Amino acid sequence: MELQVEGRNLDIRKSWQEKIEEERERLTRHHPGLVHHLRVSVEETSHHKAGGYQVLVVASVPNDTAVVKRRGEKVPALLVEAFDTLGLQLKELQRKRRQGPKLPPETELREGVQ
């Protein structure tokens, strides 16, 4: 899994980077081979009601993309919450893929009857 971490209006702290790596490993363990590319963006915002930070996690999976956005004041807690939500989204994607498309019952073709 390819990982891209970026900070907007701030520098990524070492503890945040370690938390991102830890959560990435957990995702890889629970959903092996599903996520091809993972982008984590931490942004410092000026919105006082929503908190000082925004975390955006974007995961590219075959034929789809999962996106999670969280706002708050503590980045490590936002990272955990975002990755937990991403894990639930990936679980739901896998469930839908296992079920496959629902097809109407096949109609029988009779040969020789006109």
106 domain-assigned: no
Residue 64 belongs to a domain with what CATH number? Answer: 3.30.160.100
27 domain-assigned: yes
How confident is the model over 27-64, as pLDDT tens digits?
Answer: 999 999 899 999 999 999 876 565 689 999 999 998 88
Please give the C-alpha separations between residue 71 and each of 19, 82, 100, in angstroms, as whole numbers.
Answer: 17, 10, 34
* Sign of torsion over alpha carbons 82, 17, 40, 97: negative
Whether residue 14 has pLDDT greater than 90: yes
Q: How far apart are CA 34 and CA 43, in angstroms?
A: 26
The tally of domains found in the chain comes to 1
105 domain-assigned: no
Within 8 A by CB and 6+ apart from 71, the residues are: 45, 47, 50, 51, 53, 54, 55, 78
57 domain-assigned: yes
Range of the domain at 6: 2-96
85 domain-assigned: yes
